[in-house]
C-alpha cells in the first residue's frame, strides 16, 4: 500500500519521512528543515492578499503573515529501488564558504550521518542526480579531504543536464572572482568535473527502469525533474519548479531567482496540471513538511493534499483526490 511513514533515525530529531510505492522507497532527507525566510526575498511580486490567503489555506507553520515569512526546507530525496540507490539533489553541504548566505556558510550538519543511519553509507549510492547546479543542490557532491574537495559518493555516477553544465562552465570561465554560484562551482562542481565523474545527460532520458529525467527549464537553463513510474502510481520529484506551497494557489508567482521567469511559469503550470491530471505524488525540493502529496485543481490554482491525509486513496486511480480521505497511520 502506498503511504508515508516517519522513521526515528539517529541524527534526525524530527524523524525521516519515507514514501513507499510500488516496491520502491523514497526518503526525504532535509539538509535544512523548516527555516524561516523573508517571503518577498524569494517572491518579490507577492501581494499582501496572496500572503494572507496562503496563511489561511496552508498547513500551520508554512506562512507567518505577521512577520511576512515563509518556511522553507532543503530536501534531498533518496530513491531505493531493487539493485539501485539514487540520490536526487545534494543539499548545501558542510564547510562550504557561502559568505552571502549565512544559513549555508560553514555548516556542520549531519546529512551523511543520517544517510548512514538509514543504511545508505556513501559507498552504497549508485547515482547522484543534480537537477540543476545551484549552490543549495550540489553541496554534498563533495566533502573536504586532506587534498581538498573530493567526491562524496565514491562509486556514484553524477548526472546533470549538458545544458546546465555548459552554461555554468561558461559562467565560471568568465568570472574572475571564482564566486560563480556563491562559490559552489569551485568547491562542489569543478571537483566532480576534474575527477571525470559527471555524465552530461539530455532530458528526457531513462536512467533506470521506471526512473526518468524530464526537462524543466526556466528556473535555471537546464533544470530537470525526476519521475518514478510504478504499478501503484507515479512520483514527480519537482526540484525548484516551485519553491513553496503558496505558489500552488498562485501558479504565476515566480521566484526572484529564476533565470527565465516566463519559461519557469510555463514549466510550472504544465507540470502542475500534468501531475494533477495523473494523480501523481509530488515531492518539491523546498516544501516544508509535509512534502509528499497530490494535487487537485481548484479554480486557476491547485490544492495540495498531503499523503498523511490521503492514506486510503488508491494510488492507481488517476486524477483527483478532491477531498482528503480519513487519515490513518502515516505522515502527520
What's the pLDDT tens digit per position in 33-71? 999 999 999 999 999 999 999 999 888 889 999 999 999
Residue listed under C-alpha cell 495523473: 278
pLDDT of the residue at 329: 27
Q: Where are the domains of the chain?
A: 3-309
The number of beta carbons lying within 10 Å of the beta carbon of residue 17 is 26
Phi, psi dihedrals of residue 5, rounded to the nearest 5° = -120, 155
pLDDT of the residue at 2: 83
* 3-state DSSP percent of the chain in helix, strand and coil, to 5: 25, 35, 40
CATH code for the domain defined by 3-309: 3.60.15.10
Rounded CA separation 55/61 (Å): 8
Question: What is the C-alpha R_g of the chain?
Answer: 19
Cis peptide before 175 (omega within 30 of 0): no
Q: Whole-prediction pTM value?
A: 0.91
With a cut of 70, list the residues of the chain below it in pLDDT: 309-332
Closest CA relative to residue 160, chosen from 210, 224, 101, 226: 224
Please give the distance of CA 170 from its chain centroid, rounded to a whole number.
25
Amino acid at each position: 500500500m502506498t503511504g508515508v511513514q516517519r522513521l526515528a533515525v539517529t541524527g534526525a530529531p524530527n524523524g525521516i519521512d519515507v514514501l513507499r510505492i510500488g516496491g520502491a522507497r523514497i526518503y526525504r532527507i532535509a539538509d535544512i528543515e523548516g527555516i524561516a525566510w523573508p517571503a518577498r526575498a524569494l517572491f518579490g511580486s507577492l501581494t499582501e492578499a496572496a500572503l494572507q490567503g496562503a496563511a489561511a489555506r496552508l498547513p500551520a507553520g508554512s506562512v507567518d503573515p505577521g512577520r511576512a515569512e515563509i518556511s522553507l526546507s532543503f530536501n534531498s530525496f533518496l530513491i531505493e529501488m531493487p539493485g539501485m540507490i539514487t540520490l536526487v539533489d545534494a543539499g548545501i553541504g558542510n564547510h562550504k564558504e557561502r559568505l552571502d548566505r549565512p544559513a549555508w556558510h560553514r555548516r556542520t550538519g549531519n546529512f551523511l550521518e543520517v544517510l548512514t543511519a538509514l543504511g545508505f553509507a556513501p559507498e552504497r549510492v549508485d547515482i547522484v542526480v543534480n537537477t540543476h547546479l545551484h549552490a543549495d543542490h550540489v553541496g554534498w557532491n563533495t566533502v573536504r579531504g586532506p587534498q581538498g574537495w573530493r567526491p562524496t559518493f565514491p562509486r556514484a555516477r553524477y548526472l546533470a543536464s549538458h545544458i546546465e553544465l555548459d552554461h555554468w562552465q561558461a559562467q565560471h570561465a568568465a568570472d574572475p572572482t571564482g564566486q560563480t554560484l556563491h562559490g559552489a562551482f569551485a568547491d562542489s562542481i569543478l571537483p566532480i568535473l576534474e575527477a571525470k565523474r559527471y555524465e552530461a545527460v539530455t532530458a528526457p532520458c531513462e536512467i533506470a527502469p521506471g526512473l526518468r529525467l524530464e526537462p524543466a527549464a526556466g528556473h535555471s537553463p537546464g533544470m530537470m525533474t525526476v519521475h518514478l513510474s510504478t504499478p501503484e502510481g507515479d512520483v514527480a520529484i519537482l526540484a525548484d519548479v516551485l519553491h513553496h506551497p503558496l505558489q500552488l494557489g498562485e501558479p504565476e508567482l515566480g521566484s526572484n531567482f529564476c533565470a527565465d521567469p516566463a519559461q519557469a511559469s510555463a514549466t510550472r503550470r504544465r507540470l502542475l496540471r500534468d501531475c494533477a491530471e495523473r494523480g501523481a505524488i509530488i515531492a518539491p525540493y523546498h516544501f516544508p513538511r509535509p512534502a509528499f502529496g497530490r494535487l487537485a485543481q481548484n479554480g486557476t490554482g491547485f490544492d495540495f493534499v498531503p499523503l498523511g491525509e490521503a492514506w486510503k486513496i488508491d494510488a492507481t486511480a488517476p486524477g483527483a483526490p478532491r477531498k482528503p480521505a480519513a487519515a490513518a497511520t502515516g505522515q502527520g
